[in-house]
């Protein structure tokens, strides 16, 4: 397991890889940061996956729209989380969807009457490859900018960077549920 650092306009980012695939990308200090897995990792900036990821991030922060499919992703998680993360990858650049919207899609896919938006929120919040798997594009059904492990301020900056219309969105009051 390997890690590398990247300095973004949003602050320091840690990137993790199994040597071939991108397995993690976290803003330093974010909730659910991969600190525990880093203890056994070797810092290695020259891995091809890190070079590709940093070029992808350079392009993203330069205002380009690099495709998620350009990177070899391998986020570790349950089948449910994998399903949620796959849906996140389909949210268009600069657009937002609600946790409830994702819950409805998963319920339909699983032939269930309904799915918990809170369960979806848990999966979104534990996304190990932030920014690339765009969990920042998910908002509460009432327009709250809730649920971003990297912090609401970073979520707002990412959405503004992408040109998303955030005029009808609001910062949640402490304790607001998804």
Catalytic residues: 135
C-alpha count within 13 angstroms, C-beta hemisphere, residue 31 = 11
Classify residue 147 as exposed, middle or buried by CB count within 10 Å of its CB (0-12, 13-18, 19+). Answer: buried
Please name which of 90, 46, 97, 94 lies closest in space to residue 69, comparing C-alpha atoms: 90
- Whole-number Å distance between alpha carbons of 115 and 103: 5
Pairing of strands 22-27, 11-17: antiparallel
């Amino acid at each position: 397991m390997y890690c590398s650092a990247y300095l973004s306009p949003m602050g320091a980012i840690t990137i993790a890889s199994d040597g071939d695939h991108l397995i993690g990308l976290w803003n330093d200090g974010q909730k659910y940061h991969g600190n525990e897995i880093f203890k056994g990792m070797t810092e290695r900036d020259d891995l091809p996956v890190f070079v590709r990821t940093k070029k992808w991030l350079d392009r993203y922060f330069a205002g380009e729209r690099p495709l998620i499919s350009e990177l070899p992703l391998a986020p570790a998680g349950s089948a449910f989380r994998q399903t949620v993360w796959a849906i996140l990858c389909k949210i268009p650049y600069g657009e937002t969807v609600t946790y409830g919207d994702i819950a409805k899609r998963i319920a339909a896919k699983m032939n269930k009457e309904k799915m918990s938006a809170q369960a979806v929120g848990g999966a979104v919040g534990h996304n190990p490859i932030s920014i690339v798997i765009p969990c920042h594009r998910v908002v509460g059904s009432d327009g709250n900018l809730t649920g971003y492990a990297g912090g609401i301020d970073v979520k707002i900056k990412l959405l503004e960077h992408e040109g998303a219309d955030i005029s009808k969105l609001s910062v949640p009051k402490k304790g607001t549920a998804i």
